[in-house]
Structure 1
Amino acid sequence: MNVQEQIIALREELNLHNYNYYVLDTPTISDFEFDQKLKELEKLELAHPEYFDSNSPTQRVGGAITKNFDTVVHRYRMYSLENSYSKEDLLDWEQRIQKNLGDVPVEFTCELKYDGASISITYEDGELIKAVTRGDGVQGDDVTNNIRTIRSVPIKLKGDYPKSFDIRGEIVLPFAGFEKMNQELIEIGETPYSNPRNTASGSLKLQDSAEVAKRPLDCLLYYVVGSDLGFATQYEGLEKAREWGFKVPIVSKLAKNIDEVLEFIAYWDEHRHELPYETDGVVIKINSLHYQEELGYTSKFPRWAIAYKFKAEQAETILNTISYQVGRTGAITPVANLEPVQLAGTIVKRASLHNADQIAKLDIREGDSVYVEKGGEIIPKIVGVNLEARPADSQRTVYIKECPECQTKLVRNEGEAQHYCPNVYGCPPQIAGRIQHFISRKAMDIDGLGEETVVLLYKNELVENYADLYELKKEQLLGLERMGEKSADNLIKGIELSKQVPFERVLYALGIRFVGETVAKKLAAHYKNIDALSQAPLMEMIMVDEIGERIAQSVIDFFSNEKNKEIIERLKSYGLQFVIEEKESTVVSDILKGKTIVVSGVFTKMSRDEIKQAIEDHGGKNGSSISSKTDYVVAGDKMGPSKLEKANKLGITILNEEEFLSMIQ
């Protein structure tokens, strides 16, 4: 056997041992023997660099340094899951499914919902090409170097895998590994990590992949995405992924009806604490991939999947004081400052009290013994009071009448639960909050400028609004606390680079009330530039997809304010992007201009995605569901009977594949 053959044989053997140990949990050699073989391979590779392979087991130790993680657009969007909390919620979901699909038998897959950091990994020709965090679902961070260090993630696949696909999963930190990491920190006098989920998520963004390699991270895979995958159901997809070498949890079930789903939920609600990982619920999916395509997606969720969340854990502790925070929109949020208590793997010191109505409803008072719950929320909430433990001298809570920061009298708009400070341009937290939102990662993403630095700039009277950032000079920054020459250079450079941020993110960054990322994208795509949007009348804006009266009125109010107009003119003069960057058009004709078309069923000459692309190429719009606004339905085999019935009832023209192709040709 020559050297190259020796190297290849060792790599294959070590990959197999890695798989047996980290995926199957059934090692066939000792750790010492594995290390000896790894050293032998390292020695051979060092002596023969011409045979270097980035997929070699020796490369698992990491070492690549990533200072800035590139933002990558997902090939297939990563949607969130709709949450449910009761049997009734699941039955309602099942009824919606049956209404859409018609009276057909539906199977479900039940999988545990592991609490970690979501990841999408791309494989081409059986090799790991890219790994991207979930991000906002449309785009995320490229963390490929760090994912390569996780031993349960296969670098090369085996078996009959598709040529190209993405696989979705969760990066988790097992309890045992988490406890070991914390014990090591405690022994050297460092602060331990708060919980496994946040530690796993933070590990993916470490700059040194060698540090990631030291952490006992695991990767649990649950969904394969792509075309020509070679299977027809979710359950079969899980089995195939296991065959290809992925670590797919064996805790899953194929349920023939909703009763079997409920049995699975009941069992794991009781036994989940026996698992080696954090889990907070069960994910239920329609098993048939064809039915998944038929059901499609809302703007946020797949209609064919739902998450059942286990009942949140509770703890009892003392509410010491109530304080009030002022947000960037002026909204006042009351916060309970608690006696620290352990809850769902974290130490809880604060809890949201939401608003005055919630305090009054529960009659929450300082000094009370309260029940704290941590469900799907980041900030825990108080859900009740132990009245038997209430002190005899307890005083009812009187909600504040003035802003705690600027002493302006608070207002409460009709129909709204929260109180607001109306001093928009004079209240310090609102001013700093708007700038902090402007520079945030999903907005302008200004490198070198964090929330603390914004407060520092504001306190030193260097900025009063986000337009002032673009007039900062290096010499102004050098005198500030913790601001050296390099930091100042990075901040000025980051501000300059932000001028290239596209219009939809600039629009989001402006901080218009009710205009989140999705709404900003919709408005930017429709109006193309800031001038057209600022002059748009109310009724016209309401007609834009997903824009309601409340959002439209908020946009109009924003642009009618003279101070905002002045700030936008300044931002224009600094060179920010206020016109949408038009992508190269794929439109080949306007045959379908003004037509909304729904695609349903299975096709022979083109895939469903190709038909949808053809609709857009010829000027049409793809509809997600059949309604009175639908002009045509392109129907293939196995079209849902309820869709067919609805289309006929509304008198919508139904085209088969040949008729559609004839129309666009």
Structure 2
Amino acid sequence: MKITQDNYGQMIEKLNKMAYAYYVLDDPIATDEEYDSLYHQIKDFESLYPHLILPSSPTQRVGDTPLEEFEKNEHLQRMWSLDDVFNSEELLEWVERIYKLYPQATFTCSPKFDGASLNLLYENGILKSATTRGDGRAGELVTQNAKTIKSIPLQIPSQDQIEIRGEVLITKENFKVINQERLENGENLFANPRNAAAGSLRQLNSAITSKRNLIFVPWGVGEHHSKLSSFSALLSEIFSFGFFTPPFIKHCKNIDEIKEAYTHILENRDSYPMMLDGMVIMVDEFSLQKALGFTIKSPRFACAYKFPAVEKSSKILSVTLQVGRSGVVTPVAELEGVEIEGATITRATLHNFSEIEKKDIRIGDEVIIIRSGDVIPKIIKPIKEVRNGSERVIIKPTHCPICQSELLIEEKFIKCQNLTCEARKIESLRHFVSKKALNIDGLGGKIIQQLYEQKLISNLEDIFSLTFEKLFALEGWKEKKAQNTLDSVEACKGLELWRFINALGIEHIGEGASKKLQESFGLEVFEKTYEEIIALDGFGGEMAKSLADFSRVNAQQIQTLLHILRPTATQKNISTDSLFLGKSIVLTGTMSEDRESIKALLESLGAKVSSSVSKKTDFLFYGENAGSKLQKAQELGIKCLSEEEFKALIP
């Protein structure tokens, strides 16, 4: 049939039905030839009448020209992470917490697919944007790539603004095909389907994403204006819009039904075409979700009931040392390859040398390996019964395998303290300029990475050698950005000494310890001996040894930085008549000011701000959405004040 202005809309609808049956239902209603013929007819018509192109046309799934980089995009409603439960006891505890407040609650249970989270925003029925999870508040804008995923409708029959959230997946079978192609092309292999999905979604060239046959499965919503009262009803409506429907979803009225649903999914996990790592449990009633609210990092009305980790055995061939960005040296076992959940495992962490000694793990041992979802494989224990005498003891290192400097050796951790070690330079640089350190505006993590890759900075002191010409020449830098960054670098000179101490990233020496060191030793802090440091109130042996070793290993660089920054070591003026003098205070919940400003105010009044509630806590100050800390403080009889109440007490 010829495409005309009169039947164009009908033909679009017909083609979309063909695509939905093929890509989502896996039940074709037309041959490939019929689909291709209609597709090209529509495409030819749209080339003649581009002003008539409908946003729902399948031709709009083809990406534009490759992007140079992804833009950042904020979610309308935060994408929260789920708390995990790992066994029936933890599940019972989680459910009973909800029943204690709302005994009428019911739950929706669905498979937890192991992929890359994506947030779709629809406005007036049209797909407006697609954004990765990112930090939960904002992610990368990948709309072009999302449009190539056939199971994401470009248009839905709902005019209300709605954020539809789900997981981008690759089937286990398709994962093998992609890795085989990469192997033949000499490319690095994806570790597992989750990595493959995430990597495919974040391609700057959407044509590559289009070839990966990604699947999008909805699991929740963000901002929405639905009149429906339950999550299960809204989810059913979303599936009716043309999205992929998971093979199993159950509305459960009690914990026994939740356990039955979990058992069903667990027993059938291998039959699913996509990787699963557990089951999502969601309070079904929206009114109860709202009442339960959120903790700082996760919703109280949902959790992930994780599958038991998969165990296999393999042989340790050798042990290599991996130096992390913070300088921690981690022993890694090189293994005989063993397949776990579709991925060939050849390496597994040994945690630390204390664990190795405690478990008596040796090179040549047959060991039990455990892996859960995308978690790094871990060695649980050696199978000592099969030893033949050829096994070798794993020797604890004394010098860094990268820079050869002497290592800081503690009971559990071994760490390279050398700030110039190649393995830890990036992390040292990032921490050095961070908010609680030098607090240099304009030098975030990605900017530090860019400057390092362009060889403009290598060591901490290089930050102070940056020039306008060097920054302005970089891709993405304009005059104002370059000048503002240089002004921020200059402004940090003369900062308080504690900030400089904290900026160095010394193991066990955080913000509180840095302030104590400034008050006690002033600018002579890096010349103090182990004995002088350990004599300080609150300083233990590990803290003293770490600072003394760090000062010795990095003596020359510390002096160079002190000469550049010229920090000040002024004493705090603490009000002696303050109500909070010497009091231990815990902050919880969301407040009108940022937490650091409130903490600084309280410390200026002589208070000690702690992160956890105990019998020694004198006050708890709380804001909105206060969580378990408030409940614990009330149970202990600690005086709890709202933000308005405690501010009223401050002169």
When the two structures are superposed, what TM-score results if normalisation uses the length of structure 2?
0.72
CA distance in 1, matches of 2:589, 2:400: 51
Aligned: 1:166 with 2:160: no
Find the counterpart in structure 2 of residue 399 from structure 1.
Answer: 396
Amino acid at match of 1:74: H
2:413 to 415, 418, 426: 418
- DSSP 3-state at the match of 1:212: helix
Find the counterpart in structure 2 of residue 114 from structure 1.
Answer: 113
Does the CA contact (< 8 Å) of 1:313 and 1:375 recur in 2? yes
CA distance in 2, matches of 1:632, 1:433: 33
CA distance in 2, matches of 1:535, 1:9: 75
Cα 1:565–1:597 change in 2 (3 A) is same
**In the TM superposition, what whole-angstrom CA distance separates every residue of 1:487-539 from its partner, at most 9, and x where no partner exists?**
99647959995876899xx9999674799xxx99xx9xxxxxxx9999999xx
Does the CA contact (< 8 Å) of 2:428 and 2:505 recur in 1? no
Cα 1:408–1:61 change in 2 (3 A) is closer
CA distance in 1, matches of 2:433, 2:31: 51
Amino acid at match of 2:122: Y
Cα 1:464–1:216 change in 2 (3 A) is closer
* Structure-to-structure mapping, 1:341-490, within 5 angstroms: 341-376=338-373, 378-412=375-409, 417-421=412-416, 423-425=417-419, 427-431=421-425, 433-435=427-429, 443-446=444-447, 449=450, 453=453, 457=455, 463-468=457-462, 471=465, 490=474
CA distance in 1, matches of 2:479, 2:330: 31
Cα 1:450–1:54 change in 2 (3 A) is farther
Find the counterpart in structure 2 of residue 267 from structure 1.
Answer: 264
CA distance in 2, matches of 1:17, 1:338: 48
Find the counterpart in structure 2 of residue 212 from structure 1.
Answer: 209
Cα 1:59–1:252 change in 2 (3 A) is same
- DSSP 3-state at the match of 2:8: helix
RMSD: 5.1
Find the counterpart in structure 2 of residue 583 from structure 1.
Answer: none
Cα 1:201–1:438 change in 2 (3 A) is farther
Find the counterpart in structure 2 of residue 51 from structure 1.
Answer: 52
CA distance in 2, matches of 1:157, 1:122: 11
How many Å apart are 1:254 and its aligned residue?
Answer: 0.8
Amino acid at match of 2:257: E
CA distance in 1, matches of 2:187, 2:225: 51
* Structure-to-structure mapping, 1:527-538, within 5 angstroms: none
Find the counterpart in structure 1 of residue 141 from structure 2.
Answer: 142
- DSSP 3-state at the match of 2:121: strand
How many Å apart are 1:95 and its aligned residue?
Answer: 2.4
- DSSP 3-state at the match of 2:414: coil
How many Å apart are 1:110 and its aligned residue?
Answer: 0.8
- DSSP 3-state at the match of 2:318: strand
Cα 1:318–1:496 change in 2 (3 A) is farther
Percent identity at matched positions?
Answer: 32
Cα 1:356–1:245 change in 2 (3 A) is same
Find the counterpart in structure 1 of residue 583 from structure 2.
Answer: none
CA distance in 1, matches of 2:478, 2:225: 43
Find the counterpart in structure 2 of residue 131 from structure 1.
Answer: 130
Find the counterpart in structure 2 of residue 93 from structure 1.
Answer: 94
Aligned: 1:19 with 2:20: yes
Cα 1:74–1:181 change in 2 (3 A) is same
Find the counterpart in structure 1 of residue 322 from structure 2.
Answer: 325
CA distance in 2, matches of 1:65, 1:393: 55
Find the counterpart in structure 1 of residue 219 from structure 2.
Answer: 222
CA distance in 1, matches of 2:216, 2:516: 45
Cα 1:153–1:32 change in 2 (3 A) is same
Does the CA contact (< 8 Å) of 2:432 and 2:505 recur in 1? no
Aligned: 1:293 with 2:298: no
Does the CA contact (< 8 Å) of 1:238 and 1:248 recur in 2? no
Amino acid at match of 2:221: V
Does the CA contact (< 8 Å) of 2:129 and 2:143 recur in 1? yes
Does the CA contact (< 8 Å) of 1:367 and 1:391 recur in 2? no
Cα 1:465–1:278 change in 2 (3 A) is same
* Structure-to-structure mapping, 1:442-591, within 5 angstroms: 443-446=444-447, 449=450, 453=453, 457=455, 463-468=457-462, 471=465, 490=474, 512=505
Cα 1:7–1:405 change in 2 (3 A) is same
CA distance in 2, matches of 1:532, 1:7: 71
How many Å apart are 1:231 and its aligned residue?
Answer: 1.2
**In the TM superposition, what whole-angstrom CA distance separates every residue of 1:272-326 from its partner, at most 9, and x where no partner exists?**
1001111111111111111111111111111111111111222222112222233
- Between the two proteins, the alignment pairs up a number of residues equal to 558
- DSSP 3-state at the match of 1:420: strand
Does the CA contact (< 8 Å) of 2:131 and 2:140 recur in 1? yes
Does the CA contact (< 8 Å) of 2:194 and 2:374 recur in 1? no
Aligned: 1:9 with 2:10: yes
**In the TM superposition, what whole-angstrom CA distance separates every residue of 1:71-92 from its partner, at most 9, and x where no partner exists?**
1121111111111211111112
Find the counterpart in structure 2 of residue 528 from structure 1.
Answer: none
**In the TM superposition, what whole-angstrom CA distance separates every residue of 1:600-628 from its partner, at most 9, and x where no partner exists?**
xxxxxxxxxxxx99xxxxx9xxxxxxx98
CA distance in 2, matches of 1:179, 1:597: 47
How many Å apart are 1:202 and its aligned residue?
Answer: 0.7
- DSSP 3-state at the match of 2:312: strand
Cα 1:33–1:303 change in 2 (3 A) is same
Find the counterpart in structure 1 of residue 277 from structure 2.
Answer: 280
Does the CA contact (< 8 Å) of 2:472 and 2:478 recur in 1? no
CA distance in 2, matches of 1:495, 1:336: 49
How many Å apart are 1:327 and its aligned residue?
Answer: 2.8
How many Å apart are 1:141 and its aligned residue?
Answer: 0.2
- DSSP 3-state at the match of 2:393: coil
Unaligned 5+ runs, structure 2: 435-441, 493-498, 521-537, 568-586, 593-597, 599-616, 643-651
CA distance in 1, matches of 2:466, 2:387: 54
**In the TM superposition, what whole-angstrom CA distance separates every residue of 1:5-61 from its partner, at most 9, and x where no partner exists?**
232222122122222332333332222111111111011111222323444211223
- DSSP 3-state at the match of 1:135: coil
CA distance in 1, matches of 2:240, 2:324: 51
How many Å apart are 1:211 and its aligned residue?
Answer: 2.1
Does the CA contact (< 8 Å) of 1:166 and 1:225 recur in 2? yes
CA distance in 1, matches of 2:62, 2:400: 53
Find the counterpart in structure 2 of residue 526 from structure 1.
Answer: none
Aligned: 1:244 with 2:241: yes
How many Å apart are 1:97 and its aligned residue?
Answer: 2.0
CA distance in 2, matches of 1:191, 1:68: 22
**In the TM superposition, what whole-angstrom CA distance separates every residue of 1:378-425 from its partner, at most 9, and x where no partner exists?**
421101212122231334334234433455544445xx731233x333
When the two structures are superposed, what TM-score results if normalisation uses the length of structure 1?
0.71
How many Å apart are 1:190 and its aligned residue?
Answer: 5.9
Amino acid at match of 2:32: D
How many Å apart are 1:181 and its aligned residue?
Answer: 3.1
CA distance in 2, matches of 1:191, 1:405: 24
Cα 1:184–1:354 change in 2 (3 A) is closer
Cα 1:367–1:288 change in 2 (3 A) is same
Does the CA contact (< 8 Å) of 2:368 and 2:381 recur in 1? yes
